[in-house]
Amino acid sequence: MIGEKPRGLRAHLPVIYPALMLGIFFVVPFGTMVAVSFFHRQPGAFYLPGFELGNYRALYTALFGRVLVFSLFLAGLSAAVCVSLGFPFTYFITRMQRRAQVVWLVILLSVLSLSEVIIGFARSLLLSRTAGLSNLLVWLGLMDQPASWSPGFMALLLGICYLAFPYTVLVLYPPLSRLDPARPEAALTLGASPLRTFFTVVVGSLRNAIVAAFVMVFVFTLGAYLLPQLLGRPQHWTLSVLITDQAIYQSNMPLSAAMAIFFMAVSLLLVALTMYAGQEKRAAGP
């Protein structure tokens, strides 16, 4: 029964409802957004149907370019931090007893499910003057008086890494837990040091998984919307903030739709390039 071809309407019955739901509520909204990006802006209302390229032309400004570059830079940097910390972390977890693994996974999932609002709030508290980490340092005698470390670029980077770290681990978990334990053991038996085994055998055989994880985390952090507002200064606002601002506060849906589509195109292009580079490397490697 499994794997045969569906025949007649009856066999197709189960798939009709999901297809309709996804079609109406995902494909159509997406199409609407593409259409709106060509519409004319109507002050006071949302938009007037039409076709013009003015919204895309309006993207060509210094502000948009600066914000785009900053968003990509921030996402790239935090993805690099998360993957380089998350990879050894995930490796250690996958080598634990099953029961310990479950405990760690529950902690990671709980942190992962936290809203950006909550993370931003918790981070800004931790870096604040009245309730923050600096009080602990004062109490330990390492600092003279409590200081405020938020908002700022470091606070923002910390917050985004905090947001993305559990996600990174969960992306790396499947390939790492499927890694045959015999491989690193063989390297150890042959006399390689644990550190060398880790870098040559574990990292080496999972290079593609690392590239894929970097891409996933990169796209994930591009979506950060609240943290830049809570932990950063206005010059640290990302494209997600700009798009929402145009859509909600400036009521300029056509422009924000054009921004969103351009944003998506750029991120998909970067993802494709990274994937391509990863494959090239594998083809060239041993």
Cβ proximity to another protein: between 54 and 264 the closer is: 264
Q: Which tokens in the block code for residue 127?
A: 């870096």
Distance, CA of 281 to CA of 155 (rounded, Å) = 35
Distance, CA of 152 to CA of 75 (rounded, Å) = 16
CB of residue 27 vs another protein: minimum separation in angstroms? 7
Residues 29-68 contacting another protein, CB under 8 A? 29-30, 32-33, 35-36, 46
Q: Whose CA is closest to 219, among 110, 108, 75?
A: 75
Residue 118 contacts another protein per CB under 8 A: yes
Taking CB under 8 A as the criterion, the residue among 85, 143, 192, 270 binding another protein is: 85
Residues 266/256, Cβ–Cβ less than 8 Å: no
Residue 168 contacts another protein per CB under 8 A: no
Cβ proximity to another protein: between 37 and 278 the closer is: 37
Cα radius of gyration (the chain) = 24
Residue 273 contacts another protein per CB under 8 A: no
Q: Whose CA is closest to 241, among 251, 253, 228?
A: 228
Residues 81/156, Cβ–Cβ less than 8 Å: no
Q: One symbol per residue from 181 to 220: x for binding another protein (CB under 8 A), - otherwise; what is it?
A: -------------x---------------------x--x-
Residue 101 contacts another protein per CB under 8 A: yes
Q: In Å, what is the CA distance from 86 to each residue of 78, 120, 167?
A: 11, 21, 9
Residues 6+ apart with CB under 8 A from 196: 187
Determine the size of the site formed for another protein (CB under 8 A).
90
CB of residue 101 vs another protein: minimum separation in angstroms? 6
Residue 243 contacts another protein per CB under 8 A: yes
Cβ proximity to another protein: between 256 and 278 the closer is: 256
Residue 121 contacts another protein per CB under 8 A: yes
